[in-house]
Amino acid sequence: MGKSSAAGVDNTARRVWDKEEYAEKADKREKEAQEAEETALDIKKRKRLERDPLHQGLIVERSTLKMREYQLDLTSRIGKAQVIGLNTPLSQQAGYYCSVCDCVLRDSQSYLDHINGKYHNRALGMSMTVEKSTVEQVKNRLKMHKETASASNPEDYLPDGIDRRLAEAEAAAERERQERKRAKKEAKRGAEGEGEEGGGMDPDMMAMMGFGGFGSSKK
Q: With respect to Zn ion, which residue has the nearer C-beta, 100 or 183?
A: 100
- CA-to-CA distance for 194 and 25, rounded, in angstroms? 93
- Of 90-98, 125-133, 141-149, 172-180, which part binds Zn ion (CB under 5 A)? 90-98
Q: Total binding residues for Zn ion by CB under 5 A?
A: 4
As separate numbers, helices (DSSP H) first and strands (DSSP E) second, the chain gives 7, 4
- Of 35-43, 64-72, 112-120, 172-180, which part binds Zn ion (CB under 5 A)? 112-120
Q: Which of 41, 49, 100, 142 binds Zn ion (CB under 5 A)?
A: 100
Min dist CB 98 to Zn ion, Å, is 3
Q: With respect to Zn ion, which residue has the nearer C-beta, 124 or 206?
A: 124
Q: With respect to Zn ion, which residue has the nearer C-beta, 117 or 203?
A: 117
- CA-to-CA distance for 24 and 39, rounded, in angstroms? 23
Residue of 121, 97, 124 whose CA lies nearest to 111: 97
Min dist CB 161 to Zn ion, Å, is 44
Strands annotated E in 95-203: 96-98, 103-105, 126-130
The DSSP annotation for 196-218 comes to HHTTT--HHHHHHHT---HHHHT
- Of 27-35, 80-88, 117-125, 209-217, which part binds Zn ion (CB under 5 A)? 117-125
| Residue 18 three-state SS | coil
- CA-to-CA distance for 49 and 157, rounded, in angstroms? 55
Q: Confirm or reject binding of residue 122 to Zn ion (CB under 5 A).
A: no
Q: Confirm or reject binding of residue 120 to Zn ion (CB under 5 A).
A: yes
Q: Which of 98, 111, 121, 122 binds Zn ion (CB under 5 A)?
A: 98
Residue type, 113: D
Q: With respect to Zn ion, which residue has the nearer C-beta, 100 or 128?
A: 100
Q: Confirm or reject binding of residue 101 to Zn ion (CB under 5 A).
A: yes
Q: How many CB atoms lie within 10 A of CB 101?
A: 19
- Torsion sign, CA atoms 204, 210, 212, 214: negative
Min dist CB 101 to Zn ion, Å, is 3
- Of 88-96, 97-105, 159-167, 178-186, which part binds Zn ion (CB under 5 A)? 97-105
Binding positions for Zn ion, rule: CB under 5 A: 98, 100-101, 120
